[in-house]
Structures are given as C-alpha cells and as structure tokens.
Amino acid sequence: MNHQYTSDIIKTLKENEFKYTWGNVTVKLAEANGFCWGVERAVQIAYEARKQFPDERIWITNQIIHNPTVNKRLDEMEVKRIPKEEGRKQFEVVDKGDVVILPAFGAAVDEMLILSDKDVQIVDTTCPWVSKVWDTVEKHKKGEYTSIIHGVYDHEEAVATASYAGKYVTVKNMDEASYVCDYILGGELNGSSSTKEAFQEKFKKAISSGFDPDKDLVKCGIANQTTMLMTETDSIGKLVEKTMMRKYGVENINDHFVSFNTICYATQERQDAMLKLVEEKLDFILVVGGWNSDNTSHLQEMAELRGIPSYWIDSEERIGPGNRIAYKLKHGELVENENWLPEGPVTIGVTSGASTPNKVVEDALIKVFDIKRKEALQLGII
C-alpha cells in the first residue's frame, strides 16, 4: 500500500519542520495531517482481504473511507459496494460464503443481524475509536440515559452509533443542542424551542422511535461522531451539564447527566494543527480531502472562520486547466475561480483530512508548482 499513497513532497516537508520552498512557492504543512491510524488500518485490512480471498465475491457496506482515490482503488480490486434503492441497502445480492467488509465507520446493528443470518465471512475494519463511542452509548442505555449524539444524523457513523443506543437525539451543532436544552428548561435558556410536537417534527429523522422529549430528556449522556469539531462537542457537553444543574440542582447532577471521554485524538490533533496553521502568514490554504468527508469539512470551516482564503479540493483534478480551480466551501457549495493563484512568490498553508493519502496532496501541489513554473517562464524569470 505504501507506494500508492506515500509522498516525497510530504516527506521533505516533515524533514524540514513542515516548511519548504520550491521555486517561488513556499509550503507550510499542518503538523498533523492526512491518514490517521484508524483509516490506514481500515484500508490495509480491506486490501489484505482481497489477497486472502482472491476468488470470493467481496462486498462492502459503505465507502471504506470518504476519499475518492481509495474507493476507486477498491472498485478496481472488484470490491463491490452493496447497492442502495430508495435509501435501503439491497442485502439480497449477498450470498452465503461471500465476504463482506465493514468500513471504518462501522455498521448498524440491524445490518449486522442481516449479515449474521446470511452466514458470510465478515471483515471488520471499524475504527477502535468509533467502537469506543458505541461502548459509551451502550453504557447510557444500561443506565437509562438518553444519548445526545453530536453528529450528522444520516452519516454512516452516526447511524451506526444511534443503533447501539437506547433513546437518542442527534444534534449537528450548538444551535440544535441549544434548542434541546431550551426545551429541557421550558424555554428559559434562549426561547428557541416551543411545543413537544414542534420538537418531534424538528428532529423527526434524528430521534429514536417513540421519542418523547418530556420523558426522555430527564437523564442524558453525551456521545459524538468522531469526525465532528471537537471543541463544539466539548461545548455541547458543558451546555447540557449546566442545563441539568439548573433544572435539577447541582447536588443531583449525577442522576441526570453522565459524560465519558469519546474524543478521537486523531481528529483533535488535526484540528489543533489547523488552529496553529491559521496563525501563520499565508496567502491562502489548500485543504485536501473527500468532499463527503466530515472531518475535512471542519478543517475548511476553521480556515473560513479566520477569514483566510481557503480551497477545499478532493483531488488534483480540481486544479486546471490553466490557473483555474473548482473547490467547495464548508457547507458544500461548489465554487469555480479563475486566476486563483496570485502572481509572484506565494506562501501556501496545506492540510488534509484523516482519510486523505499523502500522494493525493502531492499531486495537488505538483499542479500548483506547474502553474507557477509556467508563469515564471512567461515572465522570463527562469
């Protein structure tokens, strides 16, 4: 796997304190970037599965990770994704004796039961940090606590986590968490909530079956999708804890609120490195990672919040032809810019999501170097 995903450019940057100059392009690399341990482990296991089962049909329940380069490689290895129709996975295509890979995000309990009944060979690449979150929501369930899950309700990982919970509500950000806490306090937090029916309508796709906010928000625990903004998860936890103190009294907090550490340190390290990178003097930031990658979207968000020009691309194909780029903003809007690279010397900040191979970053930087080299030739500088 190494030769497919490693990069001499990234190696040079790391050997030179994460800063190096090629021609008139200076690159400053975030000190934590790219493949995390859980992702690398998942990809290696999936590749090894094809070696160990060369003749069997191999399926995967979702994308192994959110990176188009890696997923394309698995397609080439004839690892087939279980098809979906009208939002439902068609497990009928899987036969006894087939091999089924569970991606790094894991799989929901109902999917595991279907596969168990089919008597297939399971290859589980679930990240241990994700499994840790599942352990946490199961503790909530045993203690009859409702899990407040910080995540995107239809993200594969959040779906799997919710399947291990008892009662749950999934909140995607602080605004939604504030709405929940305002409801708990009867509208005395910020007045954003209203009736029980309005609550159930607002979260109709993000709550457990039969969820009653009047009964199911008396005891709460916090969990998170591991790709979320960790500072926001922490803030949501503190808000819920303060809400329960206000509602039930400090002396009774342990009867109404529980919290276990479910932070993924790989995600935290990349976000901390991005916070450091945005303090540098930069012309712009290049964020590289799958456009459906939640952890990468948060890196882009951090740059945007600081007002730094930032371009989120999923591959080098988004650069060109010429001095043109197609990129996404934090909320997914697609933007195309002409003449995005300024003339003369430039200093670029670079980071990449936890599902992004170093080779993908290298290919994008080579495109940048080529544009600047052609510019220098035109100006007679070289």
Q: At what angle do helices 37-52 and 128-142 cross, to 10 degrees?
A: 110
**DSSP assigned state of 258:** E
- Cβ distance 195 to 133 under 8 Å? no
Backbone conformation region of residue 52, classed left if phi is above 0, alpha if psi is from -120 to 50, else beta: alpha
Tokens of 68: 């188009």
- What's the chain's length in residues? 382
Closest CA to 341 of 356, 360, 358, 327: 327
Encoded amino acid at 337, one letter: N
48-60 exposure pattern, b = at least 16 Cβ within 10 A, e = fewer: ebbeeeeeebbbb
- Cβ distance 308 to 70 under 8 Å? no
Q: Mapped to the 3 state alphabet, what secondary structure does 317-373 carry?
A: HHECCCCEEEEECCCCCEEEEECCCCCCCEEEEEEECCCCCHHHHHHHHHHHHHHHH
- Cβ distance 225 to 147 under 8 Å? no
- Cβ distance 341 to 327 under 8 Å? no
The pair phi, psi for residue 101, each rounded to 5°, is -95, 130
375 catalytic per annotation = no
Specify the 3-state DSSP secondary structure of 284. Answer: strand
- Cβ distance 354 to 35 under 8 Å? yes
User: Which of the residues 157, 176, 232, 301 is marked catalytic?
Assistant: 157
Cα separation, 368 vs 376, in Å, equals: 13
Cα separation, 283 vs 289, in Å, equals: 20
Closest CA to 122 of 70, 61, 54: 61
Encoded amino acid at 131, one letter: S
Encoded amino acid at 163, one letter: S
Query: CA quadruple 339, 342, 344, 346: dihedral positive or negative?
Result: negative
Q: Which residues are catalytic?
A: 157
